[in-house]
Structure 1
Amino acid sequence: MVAGTVLPESGALVAFAQRQADVATLTQIGTDVVLIRNFSDADPQRWQYATSHVAASDQVHSWNNGVLAGEGDGFVYMIGMRENDLKGTNQTQHLARIREDDLLAFNWDGMQFWGGEPAGWVVRAWDAAKLYDGPFTEGTLAKHPLGFYYVVCLQAGDPNIIIHSAASLTGPWGGAIAYTLPPDLARYQQFAYAAKAHPELAQAEDELVISYNVNCVGEGFTCLDGNLSIYVPRFVRLKVTRNVTAGRARETLHSAVRAPRPSSKSGRRLGRRLFAPAHKGHGKGAGESSPYSSE
């Protein structure tokens, strides 16, 4: 499930989750939305849940990598994945939006997709333009206090947490490795996934706090027996540096994310490698440049 967001007009909480046909194989068959209309109620036991299948989702399109509202235009924005072949080796990320009142009514006919320039917003998911490459789900779409948009991405089995960012939701987007996972995970047959951003935990404007979950490989997850401490989120505090680059039609806000210096068991500081392109298939798309720069 993606990190949820509170809708500005109604105060409802909305989150998107992957619908799966088989828990064992994690076969995707679409996206479901979870809506808590009375989220402002201080007692969670009184929350009222409503769910709906997103009509523009199926085995090809999903919309559960990030959701964002509060841009002042009445829309709720989603980033999701497209499967471009039957082998599962060519996935791309795309942008969609829907008006808050349509979302509250589960009126999926109002969903629109960013088709790039000059098409603009289009009505067919197949006409959506690529933002960047990657099979990512269960992420966070957010706007940083320094002014840029970002998505925190980590797919099960990947060695790195990648942050994609842009000055505008419609792009252009670029990505860079923000944090390399501890090597001990693979040694103990563990894997990480579902990275999230936690703006509420940042102690300064130039910080970014992210988390990732850890699980283990084993039939029926018996590897967790007697050691539930494996299945807990881990947190990383990053430093964000403002780097405004001129020489374009207008100045664009970029960011440089620096990982802390952890011990060898908790991950490693990337130094200059932090600003290198992400690994093949999950990083910069054709013609893109990374929004991260070293100093």
Structure 2
Amino acid sequence: MSRRFGVLLALSLTAAGLAVPAVPAAASTCGAVTTNWTARTTPHAAPENLLNAYSNTGKGWTGADSTYSVALPGGRTAWVFSDTFLGPVNPDGSRPTTAPFINNSFVIQHGTDLKTVTGGTATNPTALVPPPSDGWYWFGAAQTSHAGQDLDVVALRFQKTGTGQWDWRWASNYLARFDSKTFKLKSLTPIPSAANVQWSGWLLRDRGYTYIYGVEDLGASKYQHVARVRGDDLTAKPWEYWTGTGWSADEAASTRVLEGVANEHSVTRWGDGYLLVTHNTKELFSKSILGYFSCSPTGPWVKPVELYQTPETGGNIITYNSHEHPDLRQGTSLLVSYNVNSLVSDELYGDVSIYRPRFLSVTLAATK
């Protein structure tokens, strides 16, 4: 069973309703917020079928979660994954119990060609970031830096605390830097970790800054936090933290911006404002994907609109960590992905199609 279930199982058993926050006066100064939006969503958007077909060959990646994407030089896209199954795949669509399972990987797309990138060797694949003796790394948000020469991925270090299945905890944040051509790991650098915030939810490059969106994960409640750094290198300049009224160099001054975000979500430009896409974590094992709007990259996030309800959710099947892929927008149509998993690990071996990302085409239109 994927250890990522522990994050999900820690959610409160009490489902909270979706509250529509009032729009503060200061937030009503851009069209993104003053407009009333509706969503028209079409499932199974590209590249879902391409990834599914590749998975079915059993020649590399056969399923994973996280599903971040980064545009690379040369028209390539890096798909960035956390817990990953590798092939083979049996003729009946199951996977052998001996199939390799690693904690992070890439799939590199160039047109319709896909290639799996792991550490180790072809006969003994390992995670791209080697696991420490007492834990492992999960991948979060990613971007290029240094004019596209480097692929930077936030890596969350998790630590074992005992011998039991759920005896582990988040320990600290790192930046894993890869060569964007060879995908060799160049460095693994600690980044701020002192405020109980996993700074891995999303990276937004905007007006000379990279905004880093983190999640304070309390199990029953999850809160978004915002930091920023000048330029595109998260390790080169001091970080600043949003306090609710301004920026501070003190990580402890970081304030809660929005409750109910998923550990992985997105913040992107939308017209003259910003759009946040997230699974609704105010509900246990929710099927609801929401969009929020703001005039600022720091919120407040207001006027939530339901973008989709995931049909897979129910029984043992869960969906989580939805977010947008802004580099792959088609005009004003968003490309949104979400992850699918099972609470019963045997099901992931019995049906390879469960543990693969789903993709949505979402068109937001102003209500007439």
TM exceeding 0.5: yes
Does residue 159 (structure 1) correspond to residue 287 (structure 2)? The answer is: yes
- Paired with 2:364 and 2:267, the residues of 1 have a C-alpha distance of 16
For 1:104 and 1:28, locate their aligned partners in 2 and report how far apart those are by CA, in whole Å.
21
> What residue is the counterpart of 1:217 in the other structure?
343
The answer for unaligned runs of 5 or more in structure 1 is 244-293
| Residue in structure 1 matching 2:298, options 167, 170, 179 | 170
- What's 2:310 paired with? 181
Which residue of the partner structure matches residue 116 of structure 2?
A: none
The alignment status of 1:94 with 2:94, answered yes or no, reads: no
Q: What TM-score comes out, normalization by structure 2 length?
A: 0.54
State the structure with bigger RCO (CA 8 A, min sep 6), 1 or 2. 2
Distance 1:190 1:48, change over 3 A: same
Q: Structure 1 residues 14, 140: CA separation in 2 closer, same or farther (over 3 Å shift)?
A: farther
Aligned-partner SS, 2:300 = coil
Q: Which one of 199, 202, 221 corresponds to residue 66 of structure 1?
A: 202
- Preserved contact between residue 68 and residue 78 of structure 1 (Cα < 8 Å): yes
1:51 is aligned, of 161, 166, 188, to 188
Aligned residues of 2:197 and 2:216 also touching (Cα < 8 A)? yes
- Say which is worse superposed, 167-176 or 20-29, in terms of deviation: 20-29
Shift of the 153–18 alpha-carbon distance from structure 1 to 2, 3 Å rule, reads: farther
More strand by share: 2
Q: What is residue 259 of structure 2 aligned with on the other side?
A: 133
1:230: how far off?
A: 0.8
* Matched-pair contact (CA < 8 Å) for 1:131–1:171: yes
| C-alpha distance in structure 2 between counterparts of 1:225 and 1:46, whole Å | 29
Q: Percent of aligned pairs with the same residue?
A: 24
Partner of 1:19: 157
* TM-score scaled by length of structure 1: 0.66
Provide, for residues 158-197 of structure 1, a one-character-per-residue CA deviation record: whole Å limited to 9, x for no partner.
2211223322112222233221111x4313x111122231
- Shift in alpha-carbon separation, 1:236–1:46, aligned structure 2, 3 A: closer
Distance 1:178 1:165 in 2: 13
> Amino acid of the residue matched to residue 362 of structure 2?
L
Q: How far does residue 215 in structure 1 lie from its aligned partner after superposition?
A: 1.0
The one-letter code of the counterpart of 2:278 is: C
CA distance in 2: counterparts of 1:24 and 1:169, whole angstroms: 38
> Any idea what SS the aligned residue of 1:103 has?
coil
Question: Residues of 1 paired with 2:320 and 2:225: CA distance?
Answer: 20
- 1:34-76 Cα deviation digits (max 9, x unpaired): 222x32x3xxx45444222323346x2211111112x232x22
Which range moves more in the overlay, 46-55 or 160-169? 46-55
| Count of residues paired in the alignment | 222
